[in-house]
């Protein structure tokens, strides 16, 4: 295989593998991110052209010089006379720069306009509060009794502009769903906001983009963009209080969860567990991952997480408690009913 | 030895000494895997009949006493577990003050931890079933720091609340009066 | 020329700066157009039927169902009150905040103490008033850890040969007034959930009405009616929740559109927050026997951190009118929707009949925590007037058309920053300590406070049995520097007639007498008598401890008029003394410790009843 073809395939492969996937800034699955991808492409093209022009010109200048034109030094007394060729070159060069920069400025301007237009009439209000090291997500319509509270996941209806208000309970985090929008810092004591107008249905992954402590790398967000009908179904299910336990083991788990350590931090709507410190567990079993994307939601992972969270996420705020084996069975049985 | 070499050697030794000093505390985020408990009934200051002595602090209690990580975790837990609601930021309210010299049930760290774990008759809730032992020790370490018992390099230098008291690093330590002294 | 220009600029700068200072002056806000309700100045009277002729006894804390706290005895007058002297003293042995008025019936004085809620029956016919019996109910000591503002008790109620007492640990007892034997005991509140009971029950029409305390503990507030004879629960009216729990039925008519709708006690809260939303009933109840209606208010919503509970948060900080037999609500009015500052609505409700537009309107008069004196039609809840009786900058007024209070959003507490200079502070322009109404002068005598505060809020965690607050506060004196004030208020014209400034907050109730006097006590122990018409101080006596309890007046066995007052500092205001708090922390006692840092030098805990009379 010829070297140039080999290079081309390698480059293309890298490009494709990074363009696909659930967590890529080149995904462009929402208006905000696709605007970014467009702008990024314009910049890449313009700057690449300029790069090659400059590098080419530099090489040409160096090589041409070496072909033995006379040196312009103090000793020889010669000095460069500006020829018409060099004047033309100068004008052309300046024009090229001007055109290039103008292209970038115009592209940037239109991108800003597009972003502003997409943010203009939000139809969905969401409040995301960043904690160490999980995301508290609340859907906040006007009617307070319709507030939905979930954790570490975001469901967005496609084509509906969402306004996400961002707060932090402790340190600076950064809210980033690469496929959908850019980063937005979340600063304690301030309120910032992000807008997302998703365009493609799919499953994406967001994560914290500002170092926030020991478990910063394990602070991810599962983002589902779905049809409006599916979203409404999901929202209606989320508004329901927690399902009552039906089996004796789940009932024992319910007892443990609502009277022992769990209720101190966690909220399960419709039960006496109303702790406000940790993620809302009312519909835990409907999620795809636990511990802010650290582990997929499976029975085994639930067992492991509840038994010893510090081994999975050392330093996180959920302590490792001494839970007796039978209690552990009951707790996991109950948690799995929380669909 | 030539002068530059000697200077470098001295610098290297000094650097090693500094680095060794950096390992002041280790953070044990998992706690002990089994049965790290708060001792039950750590008795308040009382008569020890027959010339016996009050029990010394266990190594475990001493480990938490002046540990900066434990105190800062305890500071967080103090608000999160609603201790603030009854004890305010040390001044008291529904519950007695924790920043003064009077300790109804004892002011040593093991006595404070026992009060938190077991509850006390005039309304202090019992937290043994709700918090891990490690969390209770951390809270006890923080409570001790409210009355200035803890050296300044271990306490938190700031609070994230409306406090208006001088930071704990500038607090003068209160004496720890024996349990039960001058009570109503 | 340059010099002239320079001088002109200097003058302009000075003028601008001065103007900015002037604009920055704290201003009190009044609701628009304070129109006297009845310009003729015709007399305002206590509600017909709710205020029977005075028989010289004092059988309920409010003196009568209209809550006038007015004694018709007139032996003691401004002319002779200077000679008032101690006739009797009694030490209870308890030194917590002493709020309960002694009751006097059939020449027996009943004294109820704060926890442990002992009841003494003192025989007034014998010299020294020895105790006939002592009742010791032994309420649980753990309840003291659930009481936000001192393990206090606001009084017993005498009816039909029995005394009805609420115990701190959530039980209500009926005690035989002659023998001191307990007849029944019913558990009404659960301390494991953070509930206690501090209020004085109201007994009428065969029902004993008991409300729980715990607005700071995430409780579910409610009013429970017990059968007077057996103590069994007759009905429970919750404050928050669906209409069937709040006992809002087909006969319910809210006057204002803002209070109309279905299941507002659920829809105005985030999901499940109404279950832990407070709205406790720890204050005063009044009763209109003619219409068989009880009137009472509900406490603040929980947590104090308002952004955690978006919505109006009904029916906290509201006033209810209910039928006493069934508990069904007749109307309700939410005074302070989405309360931000712990402005409960539990203050006393004085029932009166007011001249209005040529006729007589049955009204309720209530000086609210939020600083406004409400005069409302008690048939419908319509607000006839709401004028500030203290300094208020956190609200701009009350819109009488919509019934809505107009917040000053510049002072909304926000997470992550401290909001300063909020007036009135959380205890309000007046807290629980009730005013007295004199039908002779037509004035309401309001003992209240002048405090402002800084407030910082943060996320509150709910753990049953622990506080659910999420706020730090620091209180300090309001404009003028005086922390207390006794205001004589004209409810018809909506204005203050005279006032007495006090250094310390006034936390004691007031007593008005037909003799033309108003009695009240200060937190450093001075028991004072002032002229009801002018406010001139005519007599004072320094008791052993700060006074936060209700003074009463009764006719003794010898036919003379006596004045009795409990003396024993405590409660929320006195916690820095009663609980020996450390004022180094200005947030202690939910911020009150900072406002009365000097109190420990001015008084100590105590627990005595003082009785005064003219010399023989």
Q: Which residues of C touch B (CB under 8 A)?
A: 95, 141-148, 216, 418, 454-456, 458, 460-461, 463, 465-469, 472-474, 575, 579-590, 593, 605
Domain annotation covers residue C42: no
User: Is C40 a known active-site residue?
Assistant: no
Query: Tell me, what CATH number does A180's domain have?
Result: 2.60.40.420
Of residues B21 and A247, more confidence is placed in A247
Percent of chain C with pLDDT over 70: 96
Mean pLDDT of the residues in chain C: 94
Residue C441 pLDDT exceeds 50: yes
Residue C30 pLDDT exceeds 80: no
The predicted structure's pLDDT at residue B175: 79
Contacts of A40 (CB under 8 A, 6+ apart): A26
Among chain B residues, CA nearest to A320: B30
Of residues A322 and C491, more confidence is placed in C491
SS3 C87: strand
Q: C-alpha A122: how far from its chain's center?
A: 20
What's the pLDDT tens digit per position in C467-479?
Answer: 999 999 999 999 9
**Phi and psi at residue C472, in whole multiples of 5°?**
-115, 140
Query: Tell me, what CATH number does B105's domain have?
Result: 1.10.760.10
Domain annotation covers residue B127: yes
Average pLDDT of span A295-316: 94
CB C566 within 8 A of CB C574: no
Domain annotation covers residue B72: yes
**Separation between Cα atoms, residue C373 and residue C370, nearest integer Å:** 9
Domain annotation covers residue C534: yes
Percent of chain B with pLDDT over 70: 76
Residue A242, CA distances (Å) to A271, A315, A338, C398, C408 in order? 7, 29, 6, 41, 39
Mean pLDDT of the residues in chain B: 81
**Separation between Cα atoms, residue A183 and residue A204, nearest integer Å:** 15
What's the pLDDT tens digit per position in C242-295?
Answer: 999 999 999 999 999 999 999 999 999 999 999 999 999 999 999 999 999 999
Which pairing describes strands C511-513 and C70-71: parallel, antiparallel, or unpaired?
A: parallel
The predicted structure's pLDDT at residue B20: 66
Q: How near does any CA of chain C get to the CA of B40, in Å?
A: 20
What are chain B's partners, defined as 3 or more CB pairs within 8 angstroms? A, C
Contacts of B153 (CB under 8 A, 6+ apart): B68
Q: Domains in chain B: how many in total?
A: 1
pLDDT band at B22 (very low <50, low <70, confident <90, very high): low
Of residues C149 and B164, more confidence is placed in C149
SS3 A245: coil
Domain annotation covers residue C271: yes
The predicted structure's pLDDT at residue A61: 83
CB C199 within 8 A of CB C211: yes
Domain coverage including residue C582: 70-613
* R_g of chain A computed on alpha carbons: 28
pLDDT band at C32 (very low <50, low <70, confident <90, very high): very low
Contacts of A2 (CB under 8 A, 6+ apart): none
Find the CB nearest A310 among B29, B34, B35. B29
**Is the domain of A287 the same as that of A142?**
no
Q: Which of C199, C93, C92, C205 is nearest to C156 (CA)?
A: C199
CB A242 within 8 A of CB A253: no
Residue B44 pLDDT exceeds 70: no
The predicted structure's pLDDT at residue C42: 58
**Separation between Cα atoms, residue C261 and residue C279, nearest integer Å:** 19
CB B68 within 8 A of CB C567: no
Residues in A touching C461 (Cβ below 8 Å): 264-265, 275-277
Domain annotation covers residue B3: no
Among chain A residues, CA nearest to B30: A310
The predicted structure's pLDDT at residue A82: 66
SS3 A253: helix
Q: How near does any CA of chain B get to the CA of A310, in Å?
A: 6
Among chain C residues, CA nearest to B99: C582
Contacts of C317 (CB under 8 A, 6+ apart): C279, C297, C298, C299, C300, C301, C334, C335, C336, C337, C339, C343, C344, C345
Domain annotation covers residue B58: no
**Is the domain of A28 the same as that of A131?**
yes
Rounded to a whole number of angstroms, the distance between the first and last alpha carbons of chain B is 73
The predicted structure's pLDDT at residue B118: 92
Give burial (CB, 10 Å; 0-12/13-18/19+) of C521: buried
**Is the domain of A213 the same as that of A113?**
yes
User: Is C138 a known active-site residue?
Assistant: no
User: Is C216 a known active-site residue?
Assistant: yes
Residues in A touching B80 (Cβ below 8 Å): 265, 277
Among chain B residues, CA nearest to C147: B94
SS3 C233: strand
Q: How near does any CA of chain A get to the CA of C276, in Å?
A: 9
CB C569 within 8 A of CB C606: yes
H or E segment and range at residue A325: helix A325-335
CB C301 within 8 A of CB C339: yes
H or E segment and range at residue C208: strand C207-211
**Separation between Cα atoms, residue A129 and residue A218, nearest integer Å:** 16
Which pairing describes strands A124-131 and A162-168: parallel, antiparallel, or unpaired?
A: parallel
Residue C582 pLDDT exceeds 60: yes
Q: How near does any CA of chain A get to the CA of B133, in Å?
A: 9
Domain annotation covers residue B7: no
**Separation between Cα atoms, residue C365 and residue C350, nearest integer Å:** 5
Total number of residues shown for chain B? 184
Domain annotation covers residue A1: no
Domain annotation covers residue C181: yes
Strand order across the C171-176 sheet: C157-159, C162-166, C171-176, C182-187
**Is the domain of A189 the same as that of A325?**
no
**Is the domain of A36 the same as that of A124?**
yes
What's the pLDDT tens digit per position in A139-187?
Answer: 999 999 999 999 999 999 999 999 999 999 999 999 999 999 999 999 9
- Say if the Cβ atoms of A264 and B131 lie within 8 Å: yes
Q: Which of C184, C193, C146, C183 is nearest to C168 (CA)?
A: C146
**Separation between Cα atoms, residue C263 and residue C257, nearest integer Å:** 14
Average pLDDT of span C334-351: 97
Q: C-alpha C16: how far from its chain's center?
A: 44
pLDDT band at C354 (very low <50, low <70, confident <90, very high): confident
- Say if the Cβ atoms of C590 and B99 lie within 8 Å: no
Find the CB nearest A260 among B27, B30, B129. B129
- Say if the Cβ atoms of C585 and B94 lie within 8 Å: no
Residue C409: DSSP 8-state: G
Domain annotation covers residue B80: yes
Say which range, A276-280, A326-330, A335-339, B97-101, has the weakest mean pLDDT. Answer: B97-101
Domain annotation covers residue A322: yes
pLDDT band at C398 (very low <50, low <70, confident <90, very high): very high
The predicted structure's pLDDT at residue C31: 37
Domain coverage including residue A271: 248-335
Cα-based angle A215, A220, A224 (whole degrees, multiple of 5):
170
Domain annotation covers residue A169: yes
Rounded-to-10 torsion of CA C272, C275, C276, C277: 90
Mean pLDDT of the residues in chain A: 90
Q: Which of C315, C412, C334 is nearest to C374 (CA)?
A: C334
Find the CB nearest C267 among A143, A270, A272. A143
Please name the residue that has the structure tokens 């490690």. Answer: B134
Residue A13 pLDDT exceeds 70: no
CB B107 within 8 A of CB C489: no
H or E segment and range at residue C537: strand C537-542
Q: Domains in chain A: how many in total?
A: 2
**Is the domain of A43 the same as that of A97?**
yes
Domain annotation covers residue C280: yes
The predicted structure's pLDDT at residue C15: 81
Total number of residues shown for chain C? 616
Among chain B residues, CA nearest to C459: B80
SS3 A221: strand
Domain coverage including residue B75: 68-158
Domain annotation covers residue A242: no
- Tokens describing residue B74: 């305890």
pLDDT band at C11 (very low <50, low <70, confident <90, very high): confident
Q: Which of C285, C53, C244, C333 is nearest to C154 (CA)?
A: C285
The predicted structure's pLDDT at residue A322: 85
Find the CB nearest B134 among A265, A277, A319. A319
What's the pLDDT tens digit per position in A40-83?
Answer: 999 999 999 999 999 998 998 888 765 555 666 677 676 666 67
**Is the domain of A179 the same as that of A49?**
yes
**Is the domain of A40 the same as that of A179?**
yes
**Separation between Cα atoms, residue C409 and residue A318, nearest integer Å:** 38
Residue A3: DSSP 8-state: H
Query: Tell me, what CATH number does C347's domain have?
Result: 2.140.10.10
**Separation between Cα atoms, residue C252 and residue C246, nearest integer Å:** 11
The predicted structure's pLDDT at residue C23: 61
- Say if the Cβ atoms of C463 and A190 lie within 8 Å: no
Mutate to test the interface with C, among A131, A258, A272, A276 (most CBs of C within 10 A): A276
Of residues C34 and C366, more confidence is placed in C366
Please name the residue that has the structure tokens 């005074």. Answer: C335
Residue C446 pLDDT exceeds 50: yes
**Separation between Cα atoms, residue B129 and residue B151, nearest integer Å:** 31
Residues of chain B numbered 51-70 and touching chain A (CB < 8 Å):
none
Q: How near does any CA of chain B get to the CA of A170, in Å?
A: 9
Of residues B155 and C240, more confidence is placed in C240
Domain annotation covers residue A73: no
**Separation between Cα atoms, residue A145 and residue C585, nearest integer Å:** 38
SS3 A296: strand
Q: How near does any CA of chain A get to the CA of C464, in Å?
A: 9
- Say if the Cβ atoms of C581 and B89 lie within 8 Å: no
**Is the domain of A256 the same as that of A302?**
yes
**Is the domain of A164 the same as that of A198?**
yes
Residue C29 pLDDT exceeds 70: no
Q: How near does any CA of chain B get to the CA of A264, in Å?
A: 7
Among chain C residues, CA nearest to B120: C142
Residues in C touching A270 (Cβ below 8 Å): 272
What's the pLDDT tens digit per position in A88-119?
Answer: 888 988 999 999 999 999 999 999 999 999 99
Query: How many CB pairs below 8 A link B and C?
Result: 128
What's the pLDDT tens digit per position in A18-46?
Answer: 556 899 999 999 999 999 999 999 999 99
**Complete DSSP assignment for C476-530:** EE-TTS-SEEEEEEETTTTEEEEEEEESS---S--EEETTSEEEEE-TTSEEEEE
Query: How many CB pairs below 8 A link A and B?
Result: 33
**Is the domain of A187 the same as that of A326?**
no
**Separation between Cα atoms, residue C174 and residue C205, nearest integer Å:** 16
Residue C431, CA distances (Å) to B62, B97, C157, C314 in order? 47, 24, 21, 21
Say which range, A11-25, B54-68, B120-134, C305-319, has the weakest mean pLDDT. Answer: A11-25
- Say if the Cβ atoms of B132 and A264 lie within 8 Å: no
| Preceding peptide of C299 cis, ω within 30° | no
- Tokens describing residue C427: 């205890």
Total number of residues shown for chain A? 339
Residue C304, chain A, CB below 8 Å: the answer is no
Contacts of C398 (CB under 8 A, 6+ apart): C31, C372, C374, C383, C386, C404, C405, C406
Q: Domains in chain C: how many in total?
A: 1
């Amino acid at each position: 295989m010829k070297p140039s073809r080999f290079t081309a395939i390698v480059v293309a492969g890298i490009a494709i593998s990074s363009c696909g996937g659930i967590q890529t800034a080149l995904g462009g699955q929402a208006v905000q991110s696709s605007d970014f991808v467009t702008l990024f492409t314009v910049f890449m093209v313009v700057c690449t052209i300029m790069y090659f022009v400059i590098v080419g010109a530099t090489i040409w200048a160096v090589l041409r010089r070496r072909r033995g034109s006379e040196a312009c030094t103090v000793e020889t007394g010669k000095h460069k006379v500006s020829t018409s060729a060099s004047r033309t070159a100068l004008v052309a060069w300046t024009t090229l720069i001007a055109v290039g920069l103008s292209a970038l400025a115009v592209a940037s301007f239109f991108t800003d306009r597009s972003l502003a237009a997409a943010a203009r009439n939000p139809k969905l209000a969401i409040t995301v509060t960043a904690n160490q090291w999980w995301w508290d997500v609340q859907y906040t319509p006007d009617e307070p009794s319709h507030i939905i509270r979930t954790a570490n996941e975001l469901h967005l209806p496609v084509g509906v502009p969402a306004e996400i208000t961002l707060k932090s309970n402790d340190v600076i985090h950064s809210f980033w769903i690469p496929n959908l929008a850019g980063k937005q810092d979340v600063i304690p004591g301030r309120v910032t906001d992000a807008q997302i107008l998703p365009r493609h249905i799919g499953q994406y992954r967001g994560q914290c983009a500002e170092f926030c402590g020991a478990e910063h790398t394990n602070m991810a967000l599962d983002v589902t963009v779905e049809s409006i009908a599916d979203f409404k179904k999901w929202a209606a299910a989320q508004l329901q209080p927690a399902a009552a336990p039906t089996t004796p083991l789940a009932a024992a788990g319910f007892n443990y969860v609502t009277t022992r350590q769990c209720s101190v931090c966690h909220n399960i709507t419709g039960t006496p567990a109303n702790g406000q410190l940790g993620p809302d567990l009312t519909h835990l079993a409907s999620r795809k991952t636990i511990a802010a994307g650290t582990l997929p939601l499976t029975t085994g992972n639930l067992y492991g997480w509840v038994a010893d969270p510090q081994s999975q996420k050392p330093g996180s705020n959920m302590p490792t408690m001494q839970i007796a084996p039978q209690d552990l069975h009951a707790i996991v049985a109950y948690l799995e009913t929380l669909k | 030895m030539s002068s530059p070499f000697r200077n470098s050697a001295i610098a290297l030794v000094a650097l090693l000494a500094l680095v060794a000093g950096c390992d002041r505390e280790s953070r044990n985020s998992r706690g002990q895997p089994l049965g790290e408990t708060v001792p039950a009934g750590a008795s308040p200051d009382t008569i020890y009949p027959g010339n016996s002595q009050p029990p010394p602090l266990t190594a475990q209690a001493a480990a938490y006493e002046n540990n900066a990580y434990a105190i800062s975790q305890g500071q967080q837990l103090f608000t999160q577990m609603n201790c603030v609601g009854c004890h305010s930021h040390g001044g008291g309210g529904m519950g007695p003050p924790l920043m003064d010299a009077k300790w109804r049930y004892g002011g040593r760290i093991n006595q404070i931890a026992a009060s938190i774990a077991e509850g006390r008759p005039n309304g202090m809730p019992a937290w043994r079933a709700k918090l891990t032992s490690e969390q209770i020790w951390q809270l006890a370490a923080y409570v001790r720091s409210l009355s200035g018992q803890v050296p300044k390099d271990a306490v938190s230098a700031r609070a994230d609340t409306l406090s208006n008291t001088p930071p704990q690093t500038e607090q003068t330590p209160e004496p720890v009066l024996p349990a039960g002294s001058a009570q109503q | 020329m340059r010099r002239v220009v320079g001088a002109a600029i200097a003058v302009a700068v000075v003028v601008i700066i001065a103007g900015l200072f002037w604009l920055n002056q704290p201003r009190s806000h009044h609701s628009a157009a304070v129109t006297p309700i009845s310009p003729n100045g015709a007399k305002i009277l206590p509600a017909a039927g709710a205020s029977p002729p005075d028989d010289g006894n004092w059988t309920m804390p409010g003196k009568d169902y209209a809550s006038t706290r007015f004694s018709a005895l007139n032996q003691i007058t401004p002319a002779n009150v200077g000679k008032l002297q101690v006739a009797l003293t009694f030490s209870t042995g308890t030194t917590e905040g002493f709020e309960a008025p002694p009751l006097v019936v059939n020449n027996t004085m009943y004294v109820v103490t704060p926890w442990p809620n002992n009841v003494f029956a003192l025989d007034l016919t014998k010299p020294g008033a020895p105790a006939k019996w002592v009742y010791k109910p032994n309420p649980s000591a753990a309840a003291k850890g659930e009481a936000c503002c001192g393990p206090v008790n606001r009084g017993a109620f005498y009816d039909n040969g029995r005394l009805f007492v609420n115990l701190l640990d959530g039980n209500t007892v009926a005690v035989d007034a002659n023998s001191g034997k307990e007849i029944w005991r019913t558990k009404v509140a659960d301390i494991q959930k953070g509930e206690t009971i501090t209020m004085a029950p109201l007994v009428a029409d065969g029902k004993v009405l008991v409300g729980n305390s715990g607005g700071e503990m995430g409780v579910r507030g409610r009013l429970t009616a017990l059968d007077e004879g057996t103590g069994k629960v007759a009905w429970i009216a919750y404050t928050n929740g669906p209409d069937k729990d709040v006992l809002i039925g087909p006969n319910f008519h809210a006057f204002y559109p803002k209070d109309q709708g279905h299941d507002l006690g659920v829809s105005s809260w985030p999901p499940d927050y109404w279950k832990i939303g407070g709205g406790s009933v720890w204050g005063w109840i009044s009763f209109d026997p003619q219409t068989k209606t009880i009137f009472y208010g509900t406490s603040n919503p929980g947590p104090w951190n308002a952004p955690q509970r978006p919505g109006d948060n009904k029916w906290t900080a509201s006033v209810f009118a209910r039928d006493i037999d069934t508990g069904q609500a007749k109307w309700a009015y939410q005074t302070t929707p989405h309360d931000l500052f712990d402005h409960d609505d539990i203050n006393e409700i004085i029932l009166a009949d007011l001249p209005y537009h040529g006729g007589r309107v049955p009204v309720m008069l209530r000086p609210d925590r939020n600083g406004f004196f409400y005069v409302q039609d008690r048939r419908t809840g319509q607000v006839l007037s709401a004028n500030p009786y203290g300094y208020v900058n956190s609200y701009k007024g009350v819109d009488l058309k919509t019934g809505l209070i107009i917040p000053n959003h510049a002072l909304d507490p926000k997470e992550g920053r401290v909001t300063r200079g909020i007036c009135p502070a959380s205890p309000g322009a007046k807290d629980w300590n009730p005013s007295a109404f004199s039908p002779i002068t037509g004035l309401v005598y309001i003992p209240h406070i002048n405090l402002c505060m800084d407030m910082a809020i943060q996320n509150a965690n709910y753990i049953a049995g622990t506080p659910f607050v999420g706020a730090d506060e620091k209180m300090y004196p309001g404009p003028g520097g005086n922390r207390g004030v006794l205001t004589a208020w004209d409810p018809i014209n909506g204005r203050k007639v005279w006032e007495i400034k006090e250094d310390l907050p006034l936390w004691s109730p007031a007593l008005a007498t037909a003799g033309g006097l108003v009695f009240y006590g200060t937190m450093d122990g001075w028991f004072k008598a002032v002229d009801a018409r002018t406010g001139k101080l005519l007599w004072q006596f320094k008791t052993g401890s700060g006074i936060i309890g209700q003074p009463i007046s009764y006719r003794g066995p010898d036919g003379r008029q006596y004045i009795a007052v409990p003396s024993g500092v405590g409660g929320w205001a006195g916690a820095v003394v009663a609980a020996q708090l450390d004022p180094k922390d200005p947030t202690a006692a939910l911020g009150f410790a900072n406002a009365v840092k000097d109190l420990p030098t001015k008084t100590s805990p105590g627990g005595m009843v003082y009785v005064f009379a003219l010399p023989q």
